């Protein structure tokens, strides 16, 4: 979770509070808070960490990082089902009540 | 040189390695601070590709690994309460407390939720006004702006059922602690790129001067890491100790000023315990006075919990670069990702987990060092 993952801004919700956009991380799309990069535009790449865009990044660097993170399994870790991962790790079934998707609320 | 063909640009990687080889005339010990860099280094065998004179020491830059045991125990106690929805990032689920982990608490009926962002936890608080929603706010400077904004908004909205269990840590005091430790061998630092994306580089020149060490801000891709090493070794050979930014495409010298302002409004600097290392002065953040009402430690009266590390776990020495994971007797025997003694074996950013996944048989880099396909997903 210390890594920030690069992604492409595919939509900005004008007037949203906090300022929010849709980011494409190599196929996985997630909402992210854009309050810390308020001037960002659709089509630009940003570094996103725990749902917050922290800096802009050029496209070439972003695509190279995405490829690396995929190779390292970090995209699955970041966006996959955390309960399933933890269950595999523990050698046990996921606890009852754990959602099928990895994260809540959004 | 088996791994080098897998680099994005193998030819550039060879050139960087050649330059490091011809530049290094003496032994140098460098520390990469960031756990993500450690993961990338071990996965790509960068430490094995380097000339003998250049040694990489793995630093304490894994937020999951350094969260102290007593904070994990506080999290477990809060998470087990019936009125609580406890929210955490997924990589905290298997971090061992004294006698269980969050995964176990969930199995025993605790309402533990995995969130992608602290704003998701805030949304849960809005939707569940009759429950207490607690977010486990761990992490370095990269994570602090997100957690700061979550609690800032909670106060603005008057959400009385949202709080943070805070265990934030800061890199510069950790560098200072490493350099002042009697057994320190570190002569140069690869500073963590994404931490500097937020904080910029202003905190580092004083450290470089005081300890006479080069500090090179470095990214995460293998070529970034080689470039960071090349620049650090060049400075060392020239007798220099400057701060250099080798990751300018993501790091501005002033970082992200808006994010830093938010951190400074919500948090104040405090002493922190680091798991396996112990207390480091001024090495963390806690909620500032204006936001203290959102501190879960006080809301749930767990501030008194104190615990001891298991004696056989040497993760503290690993985190300080004093030993390699394979030098611990428990490594790969009583301590594995399935039965971790310490957090360095849990998180994919932990040095022990990286060694276990990619070098579990302690084999030479050129044979038997790659994980089987089903193990490619770190800590999975």
Contacts of B121 in chain A (CB under 8 A): 104-105
Better-scored residue on pLDDT, A99 or B261 = B261
- Comparing CB atoms, the residue among A79, A98, A105 nearest residue B123 is A105
Dist. CA A50–CA B30, nearest whole Å: 29
For residue B379, give the nearest of B346, B342, B335, B339 by alpha carbon: B346
What number of other Cβ atoms are within 10 A of residue B81's Cβ?
Answer: 15
Distance CA B196, CA B249 (A): 12
Q: Chain A residues with CB inside 8 Å of B256's CB?
A: 36-37, 54-55
Burial class (CB in 10 A: 0-12, 13-18, 19+), B128: middle
Give the lowest-confidence range in A68-77, B31-40, B270-279: A68-77
* Contact in structure between B164 and B135 (CB atoms under 8 Å): yes
Tell me the per-residue pLDDT of B312-330, one tens digit each, with 9 for 90 and over.
Answer: 889 888 888 889 999 999 9
Interface residue of B245, B377, B378, B379 to substitute, partner A, most A CBs within 10 Å: B377
pLDDT > 80? residue B362: no
Kindly determine whether residue A2 and residue B194, on different chains, have CB atoms separated by under 8 Å. yes
Give the whole-number percent of chain B exceeding pLDDT 90: 74
Q: In the predicted model, is pLDDT for residue A103 greater than 80?
A: no
Mean pLDDT of B16-45: 94
What the block records as the tokens of B171 is 């890199």
The pLDDT of residue A106 is above 60: no
- B116 has pLDDT over 80: yes
Comparing B133-137, B278-282, B357-361, the range with the smallest average pLDDT is B357-361
d(CA B361, CA B297): 42
- Which of these ranges, A86-95, B134-143, B163-172, has the smallest mean pLDDT? A86-95
Least confident span in A76-90, B49-63, B112-126: A76-90
- What would the mean pLDDT of B230-242 be, rounded to a whole number? 98
More confident site: B323 or B85: B85
Q: Is B100 strand, coil or helix?
A: coil
Q: What is the DSSP string of B338-370?
A: SS-SSGGGTSTTSHHHHHHHHHTT---TTSS-S
Q: Which residues of A touch B198 (CB under 8 A)?
A: 54
Tokens of B233: 């070794």
Q: Which range among A48-57, A62-71, B27-36, B145-154 shows the weakest confidence by mean pLDDT?
A: A62-71
Q: Measure in Å the smallest separation between the Cα of A106 and chain B Cα atoms.
A: 6
| Rounded distance between C-alpha atoms, residue B93 and residue B103, angstroms | 5
- The C-alpha atoms of residue A99 and residue A55 are separated, in whole angstroms, by 31
**Of B103, B119, B198, Cβ closest to residue A95:** B103
Q: Can you tell me the mean pLDDT for A12-28?
A: 95
Strand B28-34, strand A45-49: pairing: unpaired
* A103 token code pair: 């994260």
Candidate from A18-22, B52-56, B171-175, B317-321 with smallest mean pLDDT: B317-321
Which of B128, B124, B118, B194 lies closest to B149 in space, CA to CA?
Answer: B118
Contact A72 B40 (CB under 8 A): yes
List, in order, residues 6 or more apart from B326 with CB less than 8 Å away.
B332, B355, B359, B362
Chain A residue numbers touching B249 (CB-CB < 8 A): 57-58, 61
Q: Residue-wise over A73-88: b if at least 16 C-beta within 10 A, else e?
A: bbbbbbbbbbbbbbbb
Phi and psi at residue A89, in whole multiples of 5°?
-65, -40
B196-210 pLDDT, tens per residue? 999 999 999 999 999
Q: Is the model more confident about B61 or about B296?
A: B296
| Contacts (Cβ under 8 Å, ≥6 apart) of B218 | B32, B34, B37, B190, B191, B192, B193, B224, B225, B227, B228, B246, B247
Q: Which two tokens stand for residue B77?
A: 């106690």
pLDDT of residue A104: 56
In the structure, what pLDDT confidence band is assigned to residue B8 with cuts at 50, 70 and 90?
confident
Least confident range of B87-91, B140-144, B308-312: B308-312
pLDDT at B257 over 80: yes
What does the pLDDT average to over B30-47?
A: 92
| Model pLDDT, residue A2 | 59
Rounded to a whole number, what is the distance in Å from the CA of A14 to chain B's nearest CA?
Answer: 18
For residue B366, pLDDT beyond 50: no
**What is the mean pLDDT of the segment spanning B350-376?**
58
Which has the closest alpha carbon to B31: B192, B234, B243? B192
Enumerate the H helices of A1-106 as residue ranges: 59-71, 74-79, 82-90
Query: B136, B247, B184, B211: which is closest to B29 by C-alpha?
Result: B184
Of the two residues B17 and A101, the one the predictor is more confident about is: B17
Average pLDDT, chain A: 88
Mean local confidence (pLDDT), A67-96: 85
Instruction: Identify the three-state secondary structure at position B278.
Output: strand
> For the segment B22-33, what is each residue's pLDDT rounded down to a tens digit?
999 999 999 999
Instruction: Name the burial class of residue B123, with classes exposed (0-12), middle (13-18) and buried (19+) by CB atoms within 10 angstroms of its CB.
Output: middle
Single pTM value for the model: 0.91
Contact, A54 vs B145, CB < 8 A? yes
Q: Are residues B378 and A77, on separate chains, in Cβ contact within 8 Å?
A: yes
- Which positions 23-42 of A are in contact with B (Cβ < 8 Å)? 30, 32-33, 35-38
> Binning pLDDT at 50, 70 and 90, where does residue B367 land?
very low
Kindly determine whether residue B379 and residue A77, on different chains, have CB atoms separated by under 8 Å: yes
Helix residue ranges per DSSP H, B35-113: 35-43, 46-49, 63-66, 69-79, 102-107
Residue B360 binned pLDDT confidence (cut-offs 50, 70, 90): low
Which pLDDT value is given to residue A9?
98
- Which residues in chain B have Cβ-Cβ distances shorter than 8 Å to A68? 8, 40, 220-222
**pLDDT for the residue B216:** 98
């Amino acid at each position: 979770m210390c890594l920030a993952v690069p992604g492409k801004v595919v939509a900005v919700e004008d007037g949203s509070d906090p300022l929010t956009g849709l980011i494409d991380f190599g196929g996985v799309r997630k909402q992210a808070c854009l309050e810390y990069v308020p001037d960002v535009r659709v089509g630009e790449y940003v570094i996103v960490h725990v749902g917050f865009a922290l800096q802009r990044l050029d496209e070439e660097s972003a695509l190279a990082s995405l490829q690396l993170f995929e190779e390292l399994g970090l995209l699955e870790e970041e966006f996959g089902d955390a309960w399933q991962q933890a269950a595999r790790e523990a050698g046990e079934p996921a606890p009852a009540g754990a959602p099928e998707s990895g994260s809540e609320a959004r | 040189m088996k791994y080098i063909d897998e680099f994005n640009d193998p030819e550039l990687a060879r050139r960087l390695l050649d330059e490091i080889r011809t530049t290094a005339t003496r032994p140098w010990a460098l520390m990469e601070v960031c756990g993500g860099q450690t993961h990338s280094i071990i996965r790509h065998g960068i430490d094995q590709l380097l000339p003998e004179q250049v040694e990489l020491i793995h630093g304490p830059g894994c937020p999951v690994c350094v969260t102290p045991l007593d904070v994990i125990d506080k999290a477990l106690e809060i998470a087990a309460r019936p009125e609580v929805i406890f929210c955490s990032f997924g990589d905290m689920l298997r971090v061992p407390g004294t006698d269980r982990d969050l995964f176990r608490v969930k199995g025993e009926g605790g309402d533990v939720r995995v969130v992608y962002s602290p704003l998701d936890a805030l949304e849960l608080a809005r939707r569940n006004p009759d429950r207490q929603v607690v977010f486990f706010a761990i992490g370095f400077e990269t994570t602090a702006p997100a957690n700061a904004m979550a609690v800032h908004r909670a106060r603005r909205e008057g959400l009385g059922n949202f709080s943070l269990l805070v265990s934030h840590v800061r890199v510069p005091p950790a560098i200072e602690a490493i350099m002042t430790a009697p057994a320190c061998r570190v002569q140069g630092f690869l500073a963590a790129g994404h931490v500097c994306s937020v904080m910029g580089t202003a905190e580092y020149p004083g450290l470089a001067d005081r300890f006479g060490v080069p500090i090179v801000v470095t990214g995460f891709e293998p070529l970034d890491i080689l470039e960071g090493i090349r620049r650090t070794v060049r400075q060392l050979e020239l007798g220099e100790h400057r701060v250099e930014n080798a990751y300018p495409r993501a790091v501005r010298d002033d970082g992200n000023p808006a994010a830093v302002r938010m951190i400074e409004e919500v948090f104040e600097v405090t002493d922190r315990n680091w798991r396996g290392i112990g207390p480091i002065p001024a090495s963390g953040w806690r909620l500032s006075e204006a936001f203290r009402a959102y501190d879960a430690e006080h809301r749930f009266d767990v501030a008194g919990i104190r615990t001891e590390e298991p004696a056989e776990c040497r993760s503290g020495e690993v985190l300080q670069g004093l030993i390699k994971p394979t030098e611990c007797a428990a490594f790969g025997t009583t301590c594995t990702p399935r039965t971790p003694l310490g957090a360095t074996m849990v998180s994919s950013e932990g040095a022990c987990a990286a060694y276990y996944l990619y070098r579990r048989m302690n084999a030479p880099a050129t044979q038997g060092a790659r994980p089987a396909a089903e193990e490619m997903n770190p800590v999975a």
